[in-house]
Structure 1
């Protein structure tokens, strides 16, 4: 593809992924304002939960449908669904409408994140893919940090509707570029899609989340509704298990749960999502209601948590790649996160914002030490055939944990708030004409009450939110205890190529096992190419006295016939004059010949033999990186494909 067209496609893909990732966090700081406008404080959690559930459960379908019917048309469909959902969210007139449209938006958002990463593999050569993978991982990191801040800015300077409307122009740009520039994908992979498994798992999960939301608040725990939901969830889970046993390509093979590494990391991941999204959802309410800060500043005050997560995700990835040890990280991480959640449970209406920031930093550090490692543990524990589905399973449980966290903690918050408000109203004389329901529907109304009454209400709100964290603390402590049961095994080489996006993103791209290994190989090769690779490869091939620049030229000309000198110089990002000395040396050594007009180059028979030696040694190097997966014909074919793509075609001039 032409470089300009490729650049436009990459920008459009990153933009689509950014929008989908942002919508997981951007709403949090807008929620208090949304509640004050639409009412429905008890339904607040579902604005977040609806999006997360829809995007998580639909992920397997988007990935396999893209393989089967073409990723371009599926990506276009995902953008259209996401934009329709965004527009309807902005137009919502009630909390029920907003929740329904957020679910529609989440359905499209899941497709954006899955397909954007898959399309990169279609349009970018293996030699450049490692660089772009890093960029896409950065999208998740950026979205997790700036999401709450952007939500606050839109609320303060425009309106909460713009949290959703901003998606429309940006999504439209991505849509136009994809339609106009992205080539069609003619390759198709036939799947036996597990529709029944997806539907049953999604329905069972929704029933369980509804129980967590309604139980003890809207309905008593022994009410027919809650009992009916519990029975429905049990029946759906049993049916899902039966379907998965017979499915040709199950959405989640039940055999994975027999592996201690998978079962333990799934539970720990569930709890990590529980804590992360629970804190993100209810802290802005505490800040805006109790401390009276603006929506923008409430986003700023969340930055310590997000910065701690991002920093420790990067650091933990570096530690693992250098030492090959990982088990101590989730143990320490969940322990630190438990301490952070416990500290947050001590917040009152008199707590300083600086102290709260320190507590959030502690929580973020703990979560960051844990999130990325859990994916690595799972990838390292399973066999090659289960690698793809196990990776998506690990992030699936974290996403579902986030949904449960928001729903359960929302139920705790609403129940505690209602009980405490009832006691206050029963013993307090209220101003004439004051409606207590106003405070429940619009927490910002507290600021307009007489000082003593306002202080009483603020104390209740602060206590209700502190209760949320008191409930979350023992839940995280359970994760700390379970993390001790995560086994440690020798780390596979491709697993060391950690992906920041998988660590911070709530939804995993639905990749095959082969694609997962290829992803790791490309990242490792990309890093190796920047560390004296051509020097080492030239020595192995017997090209003594040939500098790395010359080795690069031989590798680039291998199997190419005549190559324009201008094209070669452009690829090396140097002028022809800068490269002439290296080419002249190769000509003198009998490895390269120049055309009579001096405009083209090609290898001599001796040079061709040297290029074949480079190819052979390069493949041997890649072979060592996948040897710990055991013998596999698919991996052998992958090496045959990747080696010539990676060798001699590095985007930067070789050192």
Structure 2
């Protein structure tokens, strides 16, 4: 697409940004609203599944679309992704139980994965790596702005309107994004020589699904050493082996193994995996602290997360410009990750809303510096013909990290909470129901569930039904549950900190090569030895145009 005028490219970017914002705002708007929605529909045990299914389906669609968009072009997939997302969001609002909610969120995830994979790759089609820095910053700013508006709006909706509007309010924006992409985005002819890797796609899917199911169920539905969990991991391992065999033989692999010979791609993807595992796994539980421990409403819970988004928007936009001007990127990852670690440590030991706000500001600064880097490094390290699959691999590892992080942190959360409640009972801090009048004990048992902390209106309503002499007992019980929940969240945030530390160590080994100022790797023709150098990440500055 380099033949397009700059004005046309900017117009196309407006359409891409509209599609991305539609997907992003629908993802962030549920963050503060979901605890209340789960409390209304029931099914606290399946809370992580609402997030996990979204990440699972988006992960699979992301990696499968990467190669297909290299063959058919990005436009049909962005359009298809928007349609999937609109259908999923519309149906989600009609959910009558947790299982319907999970199913429809899965459909939304398919659409989100397609949109994100196609959008990020399209930017690579439009602009050379040296120019992509500022546009990557803009796209990060879109996520940041959606993170500012989404949580606050989501909390407001569940506080003042029917929760269904969380999923319906932005559907008109999806229609607008669809029309903009349809009219503005150029059509690319199919590459006739390319074939579709059906078997590779199948075995890749059969690797991802049992892998994520295993992490999601282990420690909750089944023990880590149970037959079911071991069976899922074994199935994932067998499918991975078959996938590798297929990819080594097919003409046009869905995920070329040559990518993993490139040290820059490998380290970037591993760093992105760990960063997302720590970030998503920990941040998804921040509303539990604000709403459950501190007793803040979902509306004000959104205000607590807003500072993170504001600082991320500002810094990511600036970082993108600095990368474009300097052509350097590693320094920003080395700066961003330690700041993220500091923010996560503050989360681990926060004991007030003020501390939570400070943690969000610090963490947002780190995100602003670090997040724009890794997609750019991957795109810069491969030949233009592999742009789609390389970008998809980056999104794949990020999504896997986020999904596995949420699942593992969910296990840590539930296991730690159960242990803390049992410890409180043994230590005598919990109320001994056997010593109470059966009628009194029966009333109090309604409150003996941490889920109750996430639905403040219902908690206050039930609290008003109790006689005054029972209020001190109720206060003691609620304080005990809040202490147990707070201690569990500390464990979750420390686990996220550990993952970010490993990501920081990896970044030290990331080799920096100059950002290309053209989408043509070498002129006039890419020779075989140069193609091999690009695949291994060994281009020197003299070889880069």
TM range (shorter): 0.7 to 0.9
Following superposition of structure 1 onto structure 2, how do residues 392-407 of structure 1 map, counting pairs within 5 Å?
392-407=392-407
Residue 344 (structure 2) pairs with residue 338 (structure 1):
no
What's the counterpart of residue 282 of structure 1?
285
* Number of the residue aligned with 2:357: 357
Equivalent residue, structure 1, for 2:317? 314
Q: 1:271 to 1:229 in 2, by over 3 A?
A: same
Q: Which moved more, 1:312-321 or 1:262-271?
A: 312-321
Distance 1:479 1:119 in 2: 27
Q: Which residue of 2 aligns with 1:500?
A: none
State whether structure 2 residue 512 is matched by structure 1 residue 493: no
Partner of 1:369: 369
1:42/1:410 contact within 8 Å kept: no
Distance 1:167-1:322 versus aligned 2 partners, 3 A rule: closer
Q: Answer yes or no: is the 8 Å Cα contact 1:194–1:249 preserved in 2.
A: yes
CA distance in 2: counterparts of 1:394 and 1:184, whole angstroms? 25
* Distance verdict in 2 for CA 1:16–1:493, change over 3 Å: closer
Q: Specify which of 437, 441, 444 is matched with residue 454 of structure 2.
A: 444
Give the C-alpha shift of residue 364 in structure 1.
2.1
Residue of structure 2 in register with 1:460 after alignment: 484
Q: Find 2:307's aligned residue among 300, 304, 307.
A: 304
Cα–Cα, structure 1 residues 70 and 378, in superposed 2: closer, same or farther, change >3 Å?
A: closer
Q: What is the CA-CA distance between 1:121 and the residue it aligns to?
A: 10
Report deviation, 1:33: 0.4
Give the stretch that moved more between structures: 290-299 or 191-200.
191-200
Taking the aligned partners of 2:10 and 2:383, their CA distance within structure 1 comes to 36
State the distance in 2 between where 1:103 and 1:187 align: 31
State whether residues 133 and 324 of structure 2, in contact with CA within 8 Å, keep that contact through their aligned partners in structure 1.
no
Distance 1:310 1:247, change over 3 A: farther
TM-score of the aligned structures, taking structure 1 as reference length = 0.67
The 8 Å contact of residues 39 and 442 in structure 1, kept in 2 or not, is answered as: no
For the residue of structure 2 that corresponds to 1:219, the secondary structure is coil
User: Highest relative contact order (Cα 8 Å, sep 6+), 1 or 2?
Assistant: 2
Q: 1:478 to 1:289 in 2, by over 3 A?
A: same
User: 1-side partners of 2:101 and 2:482: how far apart?
Assistant: 27
What's 2:523 paired with? 631
The C-alpha deviation readout for 1:174-231, integer Å capped at 9, x for no partner, is 456767x579947333332233333322332232222222222221111111111111
Deviates more, 1:377-386 or 1:479-488: 377-386
Asked whether the 8 Å contact 2:121–2:388 carries over to 1, the reply is no
Give a deviation string over 1:28-79, Cα, whole Å, max 9, x none.
Answer: 1112102211222232122222222222321244455556667665554433
Bigger shift: 74-83 or 29-38?
74-83
Q: CA deviation at 1:632?
A: 4.8
Tell me the C-alpha RMSD between the 2 structures: 3.5
Distance 2:328 2:318 in 1: 13
Going from structure 1 to structure 2, the CA distance change for 1:250 and 1:324 (only over 3 Å counts) comes to same
Deviation of 1:104 (Å): 0.8
Unaligned runs of 5+ in 1: 495-516, 519-625, 636-655
In the aligned structure 1, how far is the partner of 2:125 from the partner of 2:264?
A: 32
Partners of 2:260 and 2:316 in 1: CA distance: 26
Deviations 1:316-348 (A, max 9, x none): 33333333333333223222222221221113x
Q: Any idea what the Cα deviations from partners look like across 1:154-185, whole Å, max 9, x if unmatched?
A: 22221322111224333344456767x57994
Deviation of the 1:381 alpha carbon: 3.5
CA contact (8 A) 1:278 1:406 kept: yes
SS of 2:189 mapped into structure 1: coil
Question: Cα gap change, 1:440/1:193 in structure 2, threshold over 3 Å: closer, same or farther?
Answer: farther
Do the aligned residues in 2 keep the contact of 1:31 with 1:285 (CA within 8 Å)? no
Higher Rg of the two aligned structures: 1
Asked if the contact 1:58/1:198 (under 8 Å) is kept, the reply is no
The answer to whether the aligner puts 1:220 opposite 2:223 as a matched pair is yes
What's the CA shift string for 1:443-496, capped at 9, x where partnerless? 33575462121111111111111111011121111112222111233x1333xx
Alignment map for 1:496-575 (pairs within 5 Å): 518=519
Aligned equivalents of 2:307, 2:17: Cα separation in 1:
25
Where in structure 2 are there 5+ consecutive unaligned residues? 434-439, 464-473, 528-545
Matches of 1:63 and 1:394, distance apart in 2: 10
- With over 3 angstroms needed to count, the CA separation of the structure-2 counterparts of 1:60 and 1:135, relative to structure 1, is same
Q: Give the match's secondary structure for 1:91.
A: coil
Question: Which position in structure 2 is the counterpart of 1:540?
Answer: none
Tell me how far apart the structure 2 counterparts of residues 275 and 120 of structure 1 sit (CA, whole Å): 27
CA contact (8 A) 2:340 2:366 kept: yes
Query: Does 2:105 match 1:82?
Result: no
| 1:500-556 Cα deviation digits (max 9, x unpaired) | xxxxxxxxxxxxxxxxx55xxxxxxxxxxxxxxxxxxxxxxxxxxxxxxxxxxxxxx
CA positional deviation for 1:292:
1.5
Cα distance, 1:269 vs. partner? 0.7
Alpha-carbon shift at residue 438 of structure 1 (Å): 6.0
Shift of 1:122: 11
1:138: how far off?
4.8
In structure 2, the partner of 1:242 is: 245
Is contact 1:378-1:394 (8 Å) kept?
Answer: yes
SS at match of 1:413: helix
Distance 1:437 1:240, change over 3 A: farther
Q: 1: distance between equivalents of 2:374 and 2:181?
A: 34
Q: Give the aligned partner of residue 437 of structure 2.
A: none
Partner of 2:39: 36
Report SS of the residue matched to 2:329.
coil
Equivalent pairs, count: 493
Look up the match of 1:469: 493
The residue number in structure 2 matching 1:481 is 505
SS at match of 1:302: helix
Q: Report SS of the residue matched to 2:441.
A: coil
- Deviation of the 1:288 alpha carbon: 1.0
